[in-house]
Amino acid sequence: MDDHTDQIRKPRADAVRNRERVLEAAKAVFNAGGPEASLEAVAKRAGVGIGTLYRHFPTREALFEAVYRREVEQLSELAEQLKNAKDPVAALRRWLHSGVEFVATKKGMMAALALAVQSGSELHAFSFDRLTKAIGSLLDRAVAAGGMRADISPEDLLRAFFGMCYVHDQAGWQATALRLLDVFIDGLRVRPKIKERAARRTNPAAKRKR
């Protein structure tokens, strides 16, 4: 492949930077302004012209979907970064807390995403699969370390997480969601006494020593 062909196929560095700036700005604008936030506001925040925005994202829906996918990818990457954390339960808690920001952005784009993320759609399948794998990897480590109950699945935990985020729509709902998540995670933790009782049930020698 010659240099000319390579330059044609590869996006220019400034184009890549502009696209990333637009996505970051869109996340902030949609998070704060809801579904009526304008593309002009996104372009202004990103420091690019509206024509530049439309070259990357010809419709509002295309921009919303790109932001949504980017958020899912970032949560997947965060799970990878947290897989080697010393405290697996704290790592899971941190991931869930980061997920609240993802839901805040998603709520701001709900009007445009209503059809795209309905059950059975490719985007819904993509997001549910990636998020389930991400939260599952952290949950497995927490269970293996003896810090979390083993009778909850990644799907259960993900559905509970979204339920806590969507049960409130008033201003300040994020603080409520974070508090509920902390209570929920604490309730799933395996306490020392519970561990001891479980060991006695499975170890007759431990019972005789009492």
Cα(120)–Cα(82) distance, integer angstroms: 30
Cα(180)–Cα(93) distance, integer angstroms: 11
- Tell me, yes or no, whether 158 and 198 share the same domain: yes
- Tell me, yes or no, whether 34 and 87 share the same domain: no
- Tell me, yes or no, whether 191 and 98 share the same domain: yes
- Tell me, yes or no, whether 128 and 77 share the same domain: yes
Cα(76)–Cα(79) distance, integer angstroms: 5
For every residue of the chain, DSSP letters joined together read: --HHHHHHHSPPHHHHHHHHHHHHHHHHHHHHHGGG--HHHHHHHHTS-HHHHHHH-SSHHHHHHHHHHHHHHHHHHHHHHHTT-S-HHHHHHHHHHHHHHHHHHHHHTHHHHTTTTSTTSHHHHHHHHHHHHHHHHHHHHHHHTTSB-SS--HHHHHHHHHHHHHS--STTHHHHHHHHHHHHHHHHBPPHHHHHHHHHHH-HHHHHH-
CATH of the domain at 167: 1.10.357.10
- Tell me, yes or no, whether 77 and 107 share the same domain: yes
User: Where does a domain end: 11, 26, 58?
Assistant: 58
- Tell me, yes or no, whether 98 and 147 share the same domain: yes
User: Where does a domain end: 58, 78, 104?
Assistant: 58
User: Where does a domain end: 18, 37, 58?
Assistant: 58
- Tell me, yes or no, whether 78 and 135 share the same domain: yes
Q: Please state, as a whole number, how many other Cβ atoms lie within 10 Å of the Cβ of residue 166.
A: 14
Range of the domain at 7: 1-58
- Tell me, yes or no, whether 26 and 86 share the same domain: no
The tens-digit pLDDT sequence of the chain (210 residues) is 444 444 445 557 788 888 999 999 988 887 776 555 688 889 999 999 999 999 999 988 888 889 889 989 999 999 999 999 999 999 999 999 999 988 887 776 765 555 455 555 788 788 889 999 999 999 999 999 999 999 999 999 999 998 898 877 777 888 999 999 999 999 999 876 544 554 555 555 545 454
pLDDT value for 60: 82
pLDDT value for 196: 52
pLDDT value for 59: 86
Closest of 69, 182, 181, 82 to residue 131, by C-alpha: 69
- Tell me, yes or no, whether 52 and 133 share the same domain: no
Domain count, the chain: 2
pLDDT value for 48: 92
